[in-house]
A and B are shown apart, each in its own frame.
Chain A
Amino acid sequence: MIKRSLIFGALVALLLGGCIGQTPAASPTPVPEVQVLTVMTHDSFAVSAELVQQFEADNGVKVNFIKGGDAGTTLNRLILTSLGGTPEADVFYGLDNTFLSRALEQDLLEAYAAPALAEIPAEFQLDLSNRALPVDYGDVCINYDKAWFQEHELPVPQSLEDLTKPEYAGLLVVENPATSSPGLSFLLATIATFGEDGWQSYWQALKDNGVVVVSDWETAYYTNFSGSSGRGPQPLVVSYASSPAAELIYAETPLTEAPTGSIVADGACWRQVEFAGILKGTPNRALAEKFIDFMLSQPFQEDMPLQMFVYPVLPSAKLPEAFVKASEVPQKPATLDPELIAQKREAWVQAWTELMLK
């Protein structure tokens, strides 16, 4: 009789003991006096292990990363937790020009005039107070499925206006700007191109032409886009100018040419510049400065393209071959004043929602 409960108890104990024994986190290993630098970043952040280990060895520091969602949610998470007490990290990377003003307004960052800024082109230095330092850039563009347009003997659209033509009816899928970062970028590109008075009638024309709206990039690219592995119905999707390079690098069998391309006509893409900054109130100011310098150094700048599919801001950084081959950089991407974006973003998204979803 007693045996029975003993066996059950032993089982529970085994389960308990088993997991406590192997929990990496629960076992508080006595750490020697190594300083920890915490970097808050977005989900797409990636870096070579080798580089970070080198930085850690050089500075006698352990770097901890926290990922807070996409560019927008990461910033908002930082703002909310800073309001609730101490900031979660020492360094923030992944702020982009659509959210720049909000971060500056909320006074999240400390100024740092990094020496490397001297080499970075002025077009990227959008914050003259040097609180947000440019690290990389990329472009949100429409990708097209090369095979689809070949098969249907249809010319690839050459501009945003082309997309409202009847021959392209129902062929474009975009993301909801209220829930998706590239979706917001594309909306801003249309506002930059058609002006504050014209963008709504442009979207009305898109709507009449059967544009498909989905919530997020994953659905747009893998469920709706015909050029991806998901083999969806739409041959045009709002994605990144570097996506064709990614298709080439992550192809299943080596390809000589990317299966997709980007429409890089003037004004058709949105230029996204990403920034890093030192979070206000950090007790590790000196280390944080070193980490910023590290991000702006040649090795890190050359590592970024293949890790995150973005372009380095440092002109001397060399690009990998697949980038040169498959990704075109738009000559005249659309931009808007960060100040204006900060003022109007919510109103624009609201108006867009009213127009497209109601």
Chain B
Amino acid sequence: MKHPGTKSVLRAGLLWLLPATFLLVFFYQPLLAILRLAFSPAFEGSWQGESTAQVLKPLGFTFWQAALSTLLTLLVGLPAAYLFSHFDFKGREALRLLSLLPFILPTVVVAACFNTLLGPRGWLNLGLMALLNLSEPPIHMLQSLPAILLAHVFYNTAIIIRLVGSAWSRLDKKLVYAAQMLGANPWQAFREVTLPLLLPAITGASLLVFLFDFTSFGVVLMLGGPQFATLEVEIYTQALYMLNLRLAAVLSLVQLACTLLVAWLQSRVSQLRYGKAALSAERANLRPPRGAAEKTFTVVMTIILVLLILTPLISLITRSFVTLEAARGERGQVQTGFTLRYYQELFQNRTGSLFYVPPIMAVRNSLVYAALTVVIAIVLGLLGTYALNQPWKANRIFEPFFMLPLGASAVTLGLGFLVTFRQPAWSVLPFPLLIPIAHALVALPMVVRTLLPALRSIPSSLRQAASTLGADGRRVFCEVDLPLLLRPLLVSMVFAFTISLGEFGASSFLSSPQTPTIPVAIYRYISQPGALNYGQALAMSSLLLMVCAAGIFLIEKIRLPGEELY
């Protein structure tokens, strides 16, 4: 591997062709277009760099909250990843699947969920007030930094669970046993064997979580409140409200530079001492928890995950079936009761509006975009991962650039899309196709981050053995790589699917109002006053949860025939 021949450089180049073209056309081109506009004379007067505080203040806060959120997410996510990759217990599959659902919920709905739980009149405060005989709600969680952190953990724990869990479960236990046999205690075995082998997956997953938190927008705006502003929030305000495109562009560039830096650091750390380990099938490592310690761990972790992830989801779904204000304002009293009204109302176009969309159509639109996103992201992601795996020096420079779309400001890129693809030269491209393309831009780095550590951990001896036995390149891929990559591939598919299903910003920017996705439809309801509108938004959100759960369930059912052999 130390002397890359021209052959492998050529191969890397060929593999790079498609993903690189995609990124150049759909990421770097619109980005450059909007930057060129921002620094054109039209925005001469808008910002001259007179106040660096306008950049440094949001930058500082963005780093601080992202670092804190990532640490907290790891704190919950790593034990959870251990739980799911080692123990077989009742409800394991269900809990694992449900833990992904927060990922797709639009922020406006999460804000509503948290309010019904933690708000001044949420059930936690009501319960505590009744229990402790208080007259004032004791918990003030909303509109604060803890609310931002909690929401970030709620959203992103699944990334750690999936990425680290998937790597952990494929790790061959024999290595740990061998270390223990040689006299290492469990801690030493973990530190010397498990941790180094898991490091690429852990740092990769942390990088993703960090970047999602770093570019956080809705959570900060809605749950944090106006006293908090990340770079992304500032970019949005400056570009779309203040029309100060110059400052927005400067902030976007700072955000991109930070993303590059962090991605580069991660690739250094993960290359430091990754080893190659023999792999085993996921289920082979699973066993029921034994002994008091393992049983307690399983129970405690399950409770934490249920509290953190399930209660907000359950409160949302419950609320979509419950009416609270039968005759508010008339009797001054809140009445509760079961209702299907919100769901029934979804199927009615009461005002005969042109933009009314039956729920089935919104679901269909969302599913079509999600399926396209999965295909684009997986095909390009696989090619990109193999390209990055070639022993070519330039790869080290390219790798961080692959992560860049995750750190790009959605507003800046969105405006870039409009400036670039609304031009006559691009009119051949059906415009709604840009939606799955935009979603794939976000999903692609996740796919690469998931596949790369898995591909790198395949011992080359396996491939060499296959070649020696007479298998050609394609055979080696199908017989060796594919079975070993299947799990990570499914993880990437699930992520691409959920990213697309839950995405709101680009969809609302690019979709035609007559063909909205589910999140766009949800937003439409919740941006109008009235009990029915609120109820319909919650009903539509519950529908989104169900569609997503069904999708993930089906994707995870994909099996290779004879996979049990591995």
Contact = CB atoms under 8 A, between A and B. Distances in A.
Interface string B473-495: 00100110010000000000000
B353 A146 contact: no
Interface string A63-90: 0111101001100110111011110100
B419 A233 contact: no
Interface stretch (A12-20, A189-197, A202-210, A273-281): A12-20
Nearest to A1: B479
B304 interface: no
A79 B239 CA distance: 11
Nearest to A22: B368
Interface in B320-338: 323-330, 332-334
Interface in B429-465: 430-433
B52 interface: no
A114 interface: no
Contact of A255 (B137, B242, B327, B352): B327
B532 A251 contact: yes
A284 B524 CA distance: 30
Contact of B534 (A222, A243, A258): A222
A28 interface: yes
Interface residues of B, number: 91
Interface string A129-161: 000000000000000011100110000000000
B186 interface: no
A226 B422 CA distance: 43
Interface string A346-358: 1001000000110
Given A23-B372, A66-B512, A85-B419, A255 B535 contact: no
B467 to A, nearest CB: 15
B354 A218 contact: no
Interface string B328-372: 111011100001010000000101111110000000110010011
Interface residues of A, number: 96
A356 B326 CA distance: 37
B354 A215 contact: no
Interface in B491-548: 508, 512-515, 523-524, 526-535
Contacts of A11: 558
A178 B237 contact: yes
Given A24-B515, A246-B529, A255-B330, A3 B561 contact: yes
A252 B532 contact: yes
A8 B237 CA distance: 47
B490 to A, nearest CB: 12
Nearest to A145: B329
B561 A229 contact: no
Given A252-B341, A252-B535, A16 B375 contact: yes
B469 interface: no
B42 A83 contact: yes
Nearest to B331: A147
Contacts of A52: 354
Contact of B226 (A1, A18, A73, A176): A176
A72 B560 contact: no
Given A25-B432, A73-B241, A76-B239, A179 B221 contact: yes
Given A16-B375, A250-B531, A7 B352 contact: no
A103 B526 CA distance: 29
A104 B527 CA distance: 28
Given A19-B372, A23-B368, A66 B513 contact: yes
Contact of A151 (B40, B326, B332, B515): B332
A49 B352 contact: yes
Interface of B: 33-34, 37, 40, 42, 108, 111-112, 115-116, 119-121, 137, 142-143, 221-222, 225-227, 236-237, 239-243, 245, 323-330, 332-334, 339, 341, 349, 351-356, 364-365, 368, 371-372, 374-375, 415, 418-419, 422-424, 430-433, 475, 478-479, 482, 508, 512-515, 523-524, 526-535, 558, 560-562
Given A43-B524, A88-B422, A246-B530, 6 more contacts: A47-B355, A223-B142, A228-B534, A230-B116, A252-B339, A307-B351
12 contacts: A7-B560, A15-B375, A48-B353, A65-B513, A66-B513, A84-B419, A232-B121, A252-B326, A253-B323, A253-B327, A307-B351, A309-B529
